Amino acid sequence: MADDEEAPEVEQLSDKQKKEIAKWFLLNSPPGEIQYVAKDVRSVLDDDRVYNEAAAEAFPFYNKSHMICLEMPGRTGDVLITSFGELAENEFLDPRTAQVAIVDHVKQVCTDVRPATDEELPSPYIEEFRCALDAEILKYVGEAYPKGVCSVYCSKGKDVEGPGADFELVVVISAARNSPQNFCNGSWRSVWNIEFRDDIQILELQGKLQVGAHYFEEGNVQLDAKHECKDSTIFQAPDDSALSIANIIRHHETEYLTSLEACYTNLPDTTFKDLRRKLPVTRTLFPWHNTLQFSLTRDITKELGIEK
């Protein structure tokens, strides 16, 4: 390059572009790691105004999509941050305790709590089905997910007063196991929509299951697996319906977890084997710690007999 030739100017990003990039990093944070990512993003941006705008938009969406659990003040219980319990931008219903939690999305804490109003709660008829299902799911989650939390919401027809109309309940299960000191974090999220079809006396279930994991010791490996399933059962009394629904959920989730375990247990002998050899033909691992001993040029010249 000639001495008098000037280097091209680097195009500066606008504040809007910076905010969108920051949001992307925040929203794509692995389970349980958004606070670590946020700290780095804030440092790189070096602009509190842009960061605060990005965080204010990203954190609420992240918290709801990851269905994080926050402890309510006074140890009165835990509240799941989900769109099903969202009453306002920072207010979330906990149906089990009939309380509304006020949260700070960016700090990921519950700052206050208030009693839910009658308008925010289901009718006594719906509540009978919801409570029965909540009890069965709570029992199942306690057995299947040691650090799991769950909640049952009425997503449709909460004002139904008696038989003769359809309504819908939603079961949300969230379990996280974060161990950053051991370089791994993981989460389980499942959402089950149960439509109570009174006209045909059938309950239709649709489940969406998601597993996320991040392992980052001397590497960066992420897992994001999703699965959807459907099932149905007959419309019965609240306790009987709850038991049938819980058994269906237990069956499908156990089946999916078993299939995942089998898949990744056999991974070295299936998928990885198809990609490349486990060992070179010499049956010797490559010494990555001492690559200077290898020289492609030297090996070729030696092989061709043209060494100087």
Where are the domains positioned within the chain?
13-64, 66-120, 122-267
Residue 2 has pLDDT above 60, yes or no: no
- Does residue 273 have a pLDDT over 70? no
Q: Is the pTM of this model over 0.85?
A: no
Task: Note the pLDDT tens digit of each residue in 135-177.
Answer: 999 999 999 998 899 999 999 999 999 999 999 999 999 999 8
Angle at 255 between CA 250 and CA 258, to 5 degrees: 120
pLDDT for the residue numbered 261: 84
Question: Is 122-267 in the same CATH topology as 66-120?
Answer: no
Q: Which residue has the tokens 């389980």?
A: 188
Output the pLDDT for position 305. 56
Q: How many CA atoms lie within 13 A of 257 on its CB side?
A: 12
The confidence score (pLDDT) of residue 222 equals 87
pLDDT higher than threshold 90 for residue 197:
yes
At residue 277, the pLDDT reads 54
At 76 the pLDDT is 77
Q: Nearest CA to 67 among 163, 221, 173?
A: 173
Split at pLDDT 50, 70, 90, the class of 193 is very high
- Which of the listed CATH numbers 1.10.3720.10, 3.60.20.10, 2.40.70.10, 3.30.1140.60 matches domain 66-120? 3.30.1140.60
pLDDT at 289 over 80: no
The residues, ordered by sequence, that sit 6+ positions from 86 with a Cβ below 8 Å of its Cβ are 64, 92, 93
Q: Which residue has the tokens 């070729």?
A: 300
Instruction: Check residue 218 and give its pLDDT.
Output: 78
Tokens for 132, please give them: 């029965």
What average pLDDT does this structure show over 9-36? Answer: 90
Q: Is 159 helix (H, G, I), strand (E, B) or coil?
A: coil
Predicted confidence at residue 65, as pLDDT, reads: 95
Sequence length of the chain is 308
- Helical axes 124-144 vs 238-265, angle rounded to 10°: 30
- Which helix (H) or strand (E) covers residue 92, if one does? strand 91-94
Q: Are 85 and 93 in contact (CB under 8 A)?
A: yes
State the average pLDDT for the chain: 88
State the amino acid at position 156 in one-letter form.
Answer: K
Residue 262 pLDDT class (50, 70, 90 cuts): confident
Domain 13-64: which topology? Ribosomal protein S3 C-terminal domain (3.30.1140)
Taking the CA atoms of residue 152, residue 157, residue 159 and residue 162 in that order, the dihedral angle to the nearest 10 degrees is: -100
DSSP conformational letter for 176: E
Element (H, E) at 196: strand 184-197
> What pLDDT band is residue 281 in, cutting at 50, 70 and 90?
low
Query: If pLDDT is split at 50, 70 and 90, which confidence band does 38 have?
Result: very high
Indicate the range of 71-80, 96-105, 225-234 predicted with least confidence. 71-80
Helices (H), the chain: 15-27, 34-45, 48-65, 124-144, 238-265, 271-275, 296-304
> So what's the pLDDT on residue 69?
95
H helix or E strand, kind and range, residue 80: strand 78-80
For 250, the token pair is: 């237990």
- Indicate if the pLDDT at residue 239 is higher than 80: yes
Measured between alpha carbons, how far is 186 from 184 in angstroms, rounded to an integer?
7
Multiple choice CATH, 122-267, 3.40.50.1000, 3.90.1150.210, 2.60.40.740, 3.10.20.520:
3.90.1150.210
Once rounded to an integer, what is the mean pLDDT over residues 118-136? 97
Q: What is the rounded CA–CA span in Å between residue 31 and residue 19?
A: 21
Q: What mean pLDDT do residues 254-282 have?
A: 71
How many Cα atoms sit within 13 Å of 71 on the Cβ side? Answer: 3
Alpha-carbon distance of 286 to 179, in angstroms, equals 31
| Beta carbons within 10 angstroms of residue 43's beta carbon | 9
Percent above pLDDT 90 for the chain: 69
Q: How far apart are CA 133 and CA 135, in angstroms?
A: 5
